[in-house]
Amino acid sequence: MGTLFKSFIITILILNSTTIINTEETMEWTDSAHSIPKELFLYIRERLPEGTILELGSGWASGQLSKFYTLYSIEHDHRWLNRYNTNYIYAPIKNRWYNVDILKRELPEKYDLILIDGPPGDIGRGGFYTNLWLFDTNTIIIFDDVNRKAEYDLMVRVANKLNRGFTVSAKDRFGKMFGIIEPR
């Protein structure tokens, strides 16, 4: 292949990847406090360009994530099922967290990233810690809303139990923060 032709192809590839990144950065995003912030979405896009995500708590951003990933969404509320192109795992609340028997049966075996954004804060997310054994934890684990004490404490307890560190994002314009535990 001639050098000129090779550099033409490389230029096209660079232009294409720039276009993709620009498209995502200029994507319309919701102002809903219920959805993950755009900063978190962009972080995920950069950290994990492709693969499978398991999210706890579904909503508008599931529709966005499902454009780029194979997505599994654990959801307790039937009103938030079947809205987006994700593999829903309907697990109503039992003993103050998702019904564990349903999760045992329906969780996928493999995923690259776990996104903890449910159940809602008034129900509580502590069940993720008590039921950690259900999950493949040697993955990227992201906790949304760690500006709230309960979610921050959950992240710290999980990191300690897994003997791993964590990092926390800067506050976004709404004061929201997310935290990350990296795999080994």
Ligand X SMILES: C[S@@+](CC[C@H](N)C(=O)[O-])C[C@H]1O[C@@H](n2cnc3c(N)ncnc32)[C@H](O)[C@@H]1O
- Rounded Cα distance, 20 and 156, in Å: 34
Closer of 2 and 62 to ligand X (Cβ): 62
Residue of the chain from 44, 53, 118, 127 that contacts ligand X (CB under 6 A): 118
Q: Which stretch binds ligand X (CB under 6 A): 60-68, 94-102, 132-140, 155-163?
A: 60-68
Of 36, 103, 114, 158, the one binding ligand X by CB under 6 A? 36
Instruction: Give bridge partners of residue 144 from the DSSP assignment.
Output: 178
35: contact with ligand X by CB under 6 A: yes
C-alpha 44/C-alpha 72 separation (Å) is 15
CB of residue 41 vs ligand X: minimum separation in angstroms? 8
Q: Which ranges in the chain belong to alpha helices (H)?
A: 3-25, 38-47, 60-65, 100-106, 127-130, 149-162
User: For residues 182 and 175, what is the distance between their CA atoms, to the nearest angstrom?
Assistant: 23
Catalog residues that contact ligand X under the rule CB under 6 A: 32, 34-36, 55, 57-62, 75, 77, 80, 117-118, 120
